[in-house]
Structures are given as C-alpha cells and as structure tokens.
Structure 1
Amino acid sequence: MTLEELAAVIASRKDADPGSSWTAKLLSKGPEKCAEKFGEEAIEAIVEAVKGDQAGLTAEAADVLYHLLVMLASLDVPLDDVMAELARRQGMSGIAEKASR
C-alpha cells in the first residue's frame, strides 16, 4: 500500500461510524487527540530505534506513518501538500532549508 492509498482510505473513513472504524473513532475525537496519538507512536518508534530492534522499529514506523496521515486528515491537510513541500525542498541543503525558515 502506498501512502497515497492509505491517505485515501483514511479520508474515506472520515464520515464512517466511530463504532465500526478505528480511524473514524480517532478523527471523531478531533485534531488534539490525533496529534497525541501521533506523538505516542513517534515515541514508541524512538524507543525501538534506540534498542536497535529492526522489526519493532518497522512496526512502529508503520504506526507513525498511519497516525501522521490521520493527524493531517483531522486538519484537512492533504498529503499532496506535504509531498509538494518535500518537492520544493529537493536539491536544497538541509542547512539552507533551515535558514530559509
């Protein structure tokens, strides 16, 4: 599954019954809860990375990506906008990009 496909699935669940869909349940709780869940998953990924557990990190990274997309959807930020921002930064050094902010 691509990130675009996952984002489409998440978008399709925005109006689903929260009792039948984890995604709908998260989205129904608002952007703050979605951001909290994203943060929790990011911390879990960090823990797995520090432990050097590749399988654990792989699983947590999948959770991070999912929860990032849910958080974006909760605020109506299209994945295409994030991808466009990455494209804008392509070819720019990280140092130059940071200085432009």
Structure 2
Amino acid sequence: MTPRHDAILEELYDLVLERARQPEAGSYTNYLLDKGLDKILSKLGNQAIEVAIAAKNGRKSDIIHESADLVYHLIVLLAASNIPLEELIAELRQRRTFSETNNS
C-alpha cells in the first residue's frame, strides 16, 4: 500500500503557484514572492524559531499554529525555488523506506 499524505499540502502548493501566475491585491503570498528569496528565508527562519518556542512552552495549540505557519512558508520556498512538492514527498518516502530497511 502506498503511503498517503493529506491533499491540503498539494492544494496549498497549487495556490502558491496560482498566486505567482495571477497575483491578487493584498495577498500575503504575493508579498513574499515579490520580496524574494531573502524575505521568504527570513520568515521561514522566524517561524522555525516560533515552533521551537511554542514547543518549549508546551502549549499544543501554539505548536500546531506555529507549525502550520512553518509548513506554509516552506511551501512558499519550494514554489519560489521551482521545486515541485512531489519531489519533497518522494524524498520523505525514500528516507522512510531507507530508515525502515536499516532498522529491521
């Protein structure tokens, strides 16, 4: 059986690509894409720190909220870098398979 992932990641990735093709006024995604890689990386780093702080504080709802922000910014980075989401998913599957093989 092939492992499944939630389609929301694909939907979000497709939305980021759509915003790149057809910008919308006031879109935060367009703001990030327009500002470029340095801004995207800055936001990604900030979100990683916020996830760590939320985890340290131990509030599940904050960890979930900040993790969602982190994943969103990672997806923006992938799209801005012309890396299809499928390549990330394939890498994760390959690592899981490698890990299962080496831990058996």
- Matches of 1:90 and 1:7, distance apart in 2: 22
**17-26 or 56-65: which moved more?**
17-26
SS at match of 2:20: coil
Query: Unaligned 5+ residue runs, structure 1?
Result: 97-101
Q: Percent identity?
A: 37
- Equivalents in 2 of 1:82, 1:12: separation in Å? 19
Other-structure match for 1:99 = none
| One-letter code aligned to 1:39 | G
Equivalent residue for 1:53? Answer: 59
Aligned to 1:92: 98
- 1:2 and 2:4 are equivalent in the alignment: no
Give me the whole-angstrom Cα distance separating, in 2, the residues matched to 1:84 and 1:93: 14
1:35 maps to what in 2?
A: 41
TM-score, normalised relative to structure 2: 0.82
How many residues are matched?
95
Aligned counterpart for 2:18 among listed residues 4, 12, 15: 12
Letter of the 1:17 partner, please give it: P
- TM-score norm. by structure 1 comes to 0.84
Which residues of structure 2 form unaligned runs of 5+? 1-6
When the two chains are superposed, the root-mean-square deviation of aligned CA atoms in Å is: 1.8
| 2:17 aligned partner, one-letter code | A
Quick one: distance in 2 between partners of 1:36 and 1:92? Answer: 32
